[in-house]
Structure formats: C-alpha cells, structure tokens
Structure 1
C-alpha cells in the first residue's frame, strides 16, 4: 500500500481523486470507481502498489503494437482493478471482481526491471488491466526501466487525467489506446465513462511525441456501422495518418455473452473504410493468418512485414525503408 498521487482533501475527510477522468469524490472508508484507491481518514491510498496480478513475456505485437520495435518481446505486468466497467471486458477476472485489490504477488519495481532484462525484453508493458489505476507503481517501474535502456508501453483506455499523463509521459515510448467507439452514449452505457476524455488523451499523447497505435474492438450491432467507422477513421486521419489502427474481432465475454463473434467480413470492411479514409496502416485483429495482419508500404503496397498471428518476417526492408520505392514506414525500431 502506498499513499496515492493526484488527490485533494475535501471537507469532512472526503477526498477528490483526479488521477483519471472519473474524478471520484470518495467518502471516508470508501473506494473509487477503479476499486483500488481507498480513503482512509482523509488520505487516499493505492491498495495495489507492487501487487502484481499478471506478468508474462509477450511479443510486442500482442499489445498490439506493430510499429514499435516489431519482433521484440515486452515484459508485461498488471495489478488488479480498472476505472471502466466494460460489459465486454476480456480480463474481467482481474479487473472487475469486487475486492480484487486483495490479490497479487508483491514484487518490487527493481525486480520487474531485473526480470525484463533477464528475459531479453526490449520493453516493459503496463497492460491487461488499466495501467492508470496503478500509476504510482508504473511510474517507479518506468523510471528504472528508462535508466536501464528499456522502453515503456501503456496499453490503456485513455481515461487518465492531464496531470497523470504529464507524470508518465517523460517515461513512455509508446501507447496503444482503445478507442472503443465514437459515440458518447456507447461509452456511458457499455463502459461507465465518456468519449471526450479519451480523445483529449489521444491528442495529448500525440503532442508529447509518444508513439501511438489505436485499437477498436468491433462489436456487432453496437459500433460496427459504416457511419461510426468512418467517423473514427476521419478522426484518426486528422490526428495523424501514420497512426496505425487495429480493428479487432469481438468474441463473447463477461456480461456480453449473448452477442456472437464479429463476422470476419465486418472486420475487413472496417479495414477498407480506414484505408479509404487515408490511414496509412490498418490492421485486422483476432483473425490469425488474415492478410490484414501484415504491414504494407503505404506508397507502393509492397509487403514490408508479413505476420501470421504473432510470428513475423521482415521483407522488402532496406535500412528501414521500402526496398521497392524507398518510402520509410512510420514507427520506431522498424529497421
């Protein structure tokens, strides 16, 4: 347990937490919407500092990040909790269960950095749950990682406050942000959140020079219309046409078991919409072996990185540029 950052005392021992855009006002003894930050006698505490509930060595492509040191591994960690309440959560067992903050193995920041290096990882990813809610721990790990030459990656819903982004940005090399919909009603009903703060975070990350990739999980009947997909695509083009967009296939999960998997053709249609809007790199997700997994030169269409699931082979790359036309693909560590 560690005293939380980014909170303000209020009257009658209440506190205002502004770590994320939920802006919880928490009564004495109460816990924020994330389930892991508690007011104890007028002071706010993180209940999950150093309590790791998941840790794995993952391909960086699993985040997914396709333009950030492709082919490397990332030491991936999470604590319990989340500031969203997504009805379709893929990791509900470690993010949504009441009292989940009591679970996890105590591991120091130094041990995480050590393990990442021992496994030959190029980066540490803060993922599986929402990293914003374990920001105190993430900051300590990220500072050590940067000192040791390891990159840091956030896989996030983008709901951190501006102050939280200011704190972590100096240490972040890349982020994959879930843009779950372009409809505020979807965010309210399906996630217990709002759209605008996510867009503010995306724009803030771009402005701060963090490498960005964006993922949208396409759910039948909820966010799969041509109009909405075009809105997302047009927004991303305005933010930066070089930002990769991952359009992923939904599978029934958590409280959304009554909706079937997304048809493969819907995912391919979403990819086509993104490319036609002007996004340089649009990828199909959760369809192993699909042609939409590979990186193509956005100028001439040559295959630069062929992917089958998380297995990759680089082709037609010469010193980081397309061997056919000389165009340099966007990203970091692409050569």
Structure 2
C-alpha cells in the first residue's frame, strides 16, 4: 500500500498512537491521511501536521442548530480547525479536503450549501468539497436517503459560488465524482464508485490540464505526497 489512514473513531482522541505510527510510516515511505470531525485543538493540528500529509475534515452542516441537535457539539470549533488546517497547508504542506453529509430536512437547502461554499471559498477555493448523500441508519431510520438529483443540484450551487472542486458521494452519478479542469472544463479524472481513470487531458506528473495548461490543485501521485514532508 502507499498510505495509512487514521479514522473511525475520531483520531484526535488517540493522537499518540497515530503520531508514533505516522512517523514509522514516513520512514517506510508511506504517507499519512487523517479523517476527522474537526474538533481537534490548534495544538493538535500543529503537532499532527508534522507527519500527516492530507486531512479530510467533516463539516456536518453550517448551522449551530444542526450541530447542537444532532451531535451535541458546536460549529465554531470545526470552522476554527478548517482555518488552522488552511494555515498549516502553507507552512507544513498539509493537503485538506472537506466532507459534508447531506441530510434531508437538516442541511440540504440551497441557501445553507451556498453559505457553506462561500465561507470555504474565502478560506481556499481550491479546497475540495465532498457532498455525501445520507442513508438511513441507527437513530435516523425514518429520515429518507438523499437523492442523486438533489446532491447534483447542490454541487452546482457550490460550483457557481466559486469552489473549483466539488464532488458528490454515496450515490452513482454520471459526473458528480469526476474531476474537471476549473479553467476549460475538460474531463481529467473519471470516477465510478471505487474505480478511477486518468484521461488523456491530464498530465498527472505535472498536475496540469493538457488542454489549457491550468494547474490542477491536489496530490495526484505517491511521489508528490512523499515530497510534502521531510523524514526525520
């Protein structure tokens, strides 16, 4: 394998384990991925960014109401984590993506997604946003699953705001999982479920669109990931 991911349950509560494992992984030529709810302190992010190459932060909604009623937590610390991670992107070369689970009746309005996208755009328009469809489970069996049509419409809202890379997940769509050049619109990476295909329009080694030369944000190869961190 090329990487190790620290996830499920929240990795911030077992920091010492993935700190030690992450450093060993780097010495063995692997790169490290953190999947988190974004409730870590600034000190946690500062230390973890020394060995974490990429992080996926859950932004479960953009209202205090959702956070309070569904999680018992607060929105503000998560937003602070995203801002901290963005700062560390420049200093420690931490790649960051955002994942939002879209739940019918809770956070699937165009206005809320627009507000979320506008906020993220101010942080970094190149930061990918993944809109993941809810599926009934546990205490929310009576809530219906989110539809592909709804997710695609919300994806368009976020793209229209100015985010450059917006994806949908947990549903099968024609274009929602693909990567397109934000400059000319050429298809660069085609995805279907767990299969990915690099198209002839993408120079993956140089991270550029061959059609227009636009630089495509992201970590696309193992070598690019390894160059993010110095092995100590």
Equivalent residue for 2:212?
Answer: 325
Distance 2:174 2:11 in 1: 30
Q: What is the number of equivalent residue pairs in this alignment?
A: 215
Q: Distance in 2 between matches of 1:225 and 1:289?
A: 20
| Cα displacement (A) at 1:157 | 0.4
CA displacement at 1:323 relative to structure 2: 1.2
Residues 133 and 151 of structure 2 are in contact (CA less than 8 Å); yes or no, is this contact kept in structure 1?
yes
* Residue 192 (structure 1) shift: 1.3
Alignment match of 1:310 (pick from 194, 205, 210): 194
For residue 12 of structure 2, give the secondary structure of its aligned residue in structure 1: helix
TM-score by length of 1: 0.62
Runs of 4+ deviating beyond 6 Å: none
Pair 1:132-2:12 in alignment: yes
Q: Which has a greater percent of helix?
A: 2
Residue correspondence of structure 1 range 1-335 to structure 2 within 5 A: 121-209=1-89, 210-315=94-199, 316-318=201-203, 319-333=206-220
Q: Does structure 2 retain, via aligned residues, the 8 Å contact 1:284–1:290?
A: no
Contact 2:102-2:131 at 8 Å conserved across structures: yes
Cα distance in structure 2, aligned partners of 1:146 and 1:201: 24
Is the radius of gyration larger for structure 1 or structure 2? Answer: 1
Per the TM alignment, residue 201 of structure 1 is displaced from its structure 2 partner at its CA by 0.7
Q: Partners in 2 of 1:271 and 1:231 — Cα distance?
A: 13
Deviation at 1:289, TM superposition (A): 4.2
Provide the residue aligned with 1:56 in structure 2: none
CA RMSD for the aligned pairs? 1.2
Cα pair 2:148 2:173 within 8 Å, conserved: no
Deviation at 1:308, TM superposition (A): 0.7
Name the CA distance, whole Å, in 2 between partners of 1:268 and 1:320.
26
- Whether the aligned pair in 1 keeps the contact of 2:148 and 2:172 (CA below 8 Å) is no
Give the aligned partner of residue 227 of structure 2: none
Cα contact 2:207–2:217 (8 A) shared by 1: no
Distance 1:189 1:264 in 2: 25
CA distance in 1 between partners of 2:46 and 2:127 (Å)? 21
- The unaligned stretches of length 5 or more in structure 2 are 225-232
Query: 1:159-217, CA deviations, whole angstroms, 9 ceiling, x for partnerless residues?
Result: 01122222211111100111001101211110111001101111111101110111111
Q: Calculate the TM-score normalised by the size of structure 2.
A: 0.89
- Is the 8 Å Cα contact of residues 60 and 101 (structure 2) preserved in structure 1? yes
Structure 1 unaligned runs (5+)? 1-120
